[in-house]
């Protein structure tokens, strides 16, 4: 048995949609990428902030830090 054939127009439209999705994902990954040094600096700043803020007893102090 032969599988049902897909009309060329539908196949072309699906290929265009797939190309659009791939391009969009590629652009989004480039935009949101954080270089290695940036990630390390964010981690260091977060650790310093948690040390300065102390235990979460006073919400305003935690938010201020």
The domains of the chain are located at 8-64
- Size of the chain in residues: 65
Q: What local confidence, expressed as pLDDT, does residue 21 receive? A: 93
9-33 per-position pLDDT tens digit: 888 888 898 999 999 888 877 665 6
Q: What angle do CA 50, 54, 58 make, to 5 degrees?
A: 115
Q: Taking a C-beta distance cutoff of 8 angstroms, is the pair 53, 62 a contact?
A: yes
Q: What local confidence, expressed as pLDDT, does residue 25 receive? A: 85
Q: Is the pLDDT of residue 64 over 60?
A: yes
Number of H helices, E strands in the chain: 3, 0
Cβ within 8 Å of residue 42, ≥6 positions away: 34
Q: Both tokens of residue 42?
A: 């964010």
């Amino acid at each position: 048995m032969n599988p049902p054939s897909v009309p060329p127009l539908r196949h072309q439209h699906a290929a265009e949609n797939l190309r659009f999705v791939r391009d969009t994902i590629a652009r989004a990954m480039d935009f949101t990428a954080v270089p290695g040094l940036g990630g390390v600096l964010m981690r260091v700043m977060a650790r310093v902030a948690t040390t300065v803020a102390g235990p979460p007893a006073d919400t305003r102090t935690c938010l201020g830090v």
